[in-house]
Amino acid sequence: MKNNDDSKKNHWKKFKQKLVCTLNKNAEGCSLKSTENFEEENCDFNKTKIGKYAFSKTNRHDKNVKKERILLYARRIFFIFISAILFNFGVLAFLQKSDTIPSGISGIPSLIVFLLNRSNPEISKFFALMYLAANIPLFAIFGFKVKRSFVVLSVLFMIFQIAVNAVLTIKEVETWVNHTFSVSPGWEQMISVEVQPNVFQNYENPNTWPIFMNGIIGSALIGISIAIAWKNGGSTGGTDIIAYYFSTKKKKSVSFVLMIVSFLTSAIFLILFSALHPHTASLAVEFTNVNGKISPVYKVTNNHAVFGMREIMTIFYIFIVNFLVSFIYPKYKKVDIEIFTADPKKILNYLKAINYWHAYTVYTAQSGYTGNPVYKVETTSLLLESKSLIKDLQWIDKSAWIKIKPVVKVNGSFSTEYVE
């Protein structure tokens, strides 16, 4: 056992020494050239983000690596919990008030709640449980075909969602949420109109701007929730599982796959909603002035909305959610990185030391200002990995000038292991 520990320590020491030497050939124990000078205090291995990542990939059983992974997953679980809070809050506080029809598997419990809520308000308490039940077939089909940690974190999301839903649907809490987070206090979705003496019938409120605002806010919260879950290695379940499977297989943008799935499922649910719960006859609003008191008078018309605010907000929901997912978590978005430097040795040695997984090319040019030779190191990387890479490059060569350009499309194999 002691020999194994000594072997690991020696491996760590050699790896660290290799990186220090490649960053600073003047460091102790390295073969030096006097022209390659780099301050030794800047050679702390822990400051190199990609260096730590490279080491952790090849030394999973190292004590320090295990500790870092535990902290990483603790952080991920915390944000999955935050995601569950935002998701449930967005649905219960805003989306339900807008009659917005969610896309994907969440449309199943939403449809049930929407149809039964007026006759049985208690049904909303079971939203999370119904959502979990609807996800079981997807986990059975795709659960063994995707990354295990993704499945575990997605299941944790749904467990957290059940707990959060149980709290938010407590009568006192639900009442407080509905009154505190109301975009239009006193507004009701349905208006009771006396159609005959002592005979009342419910109609949709012709004042629809609260539906629009509730839909926008709810969609934004759901989009942020989904993006947080994706960014931390999990998902909100449902069609996210399908999107994850196809996005990893085809290396397509997560939001692109979600967009396709969302439109397909939303079309199905819109048809079901329209058939099971069509729009009521519309109301015309007139205002009367009796003794200086202005009051609205509602009159029933024979007009029925076929494509109303409910359908409009469903389309808005899809675009808002997928825009936010793409903006917050651009998983497969690629960028070109161009590094201009007078001395490329430090940068090239660094790329070799971390076994940099993308191709890179070195160009030689002449500075138009000084006439001195200038070197350009060019590579294409994922946007999410480029941030850590650029920080390391700026630390290695503070005088380097770095330019980043978006990449529209690439053909051929491209490593995405860093974000998987």
Q: What is the pLDDT of residue 42?
A: 43
CATH for 353: 3.30.70.120
* C-beta separation of 41 from 27 below 8 A: no
Same domain for 350 and 371: yes
What's the per-residue H, E or C state across 278-296?
Answer: CCCEEEEEEEEEECCEEEE
- pTM (2 d.p.): 0.76
* C-beta separation of 222 from 84 below 8 A: no
First-residue to last-residue Cα distance in the chain: 33
- Answer with the one of 308, 328, 348 that is the final residue of a domain: 328
In a domain, 90, yes or no: yes
The first and second tokens of residue 298, run together, are 């509602």
* C-beta separation of 66 from 143 below 8 A: no
- Answer with the one of 307, 328, 349 that is the final residue of a domain: 328
Q: How far apart are CA 262 and CA 255, in angstroms?
A: 10
Domain that residue 178 falls in: 66-328
- Answer with the one of 284, 307, 328 that is the final residue of a domain: 328
Q: What is the C-alpha R_g of the chain?
A: 29
List, in sequence order, every residue forming a beta bridge with 201; answer none if it has no partner. 193
Same domain for 268 and 132: yes
Same domain for 276 and 240: yes
Q: Closest Cα to residue 18, out of 49, 53, 55, 63?
A: 55
What is the number of domains present in the chain?
Answer: 2
Q: What is the pLDDT of residue 15?
A: 46
Q: What is the pLDDT of residue 74?
A: 93
In a domain, 413, yes or no: no
Same domain for 392 and 273: no
pLDDT tens string, the chain, 420 residues long: the values are 545 555 545 544 554 444 444 444 444 444 333 333 333 334 443 466 777 777 777 777 778 878 888 898 999 999 999 999 999 899 888 887 887 776 777 778 877 877 777 667 777 778 778 888 888 888 888 878 888 888 899 999 989 988 998 898 888 898 898 888 888 887 777 777 766 777 777 777 777 888 889 989 999 999 999 999 999 988 888 878 888 887 777 766 677 777 887 788 888 877 877 777 777 777 777 777 667 677 777 777 777 777 778 888 888 888 898 889 888 888 788 899 999 988 888 888 888 888 888 888 988 888 787 788 888 999 998 888 888 888 888 888 888 889 999 888 777 777 777 766
Q: How far apart are CA 261 and CA 194, in angstroms?
A: 43
Q: How far apart are CA 244 and CA 234, in angstroms?
A: 9
Same domain for 366 and 251: no
In a domain, 320, yes or no: yes
In a domain, 384, yes or no: yes
In a domain, 27, yes or no: no
In a domain, 227, yes or no: yes
Same domain for 307 and 233: yes
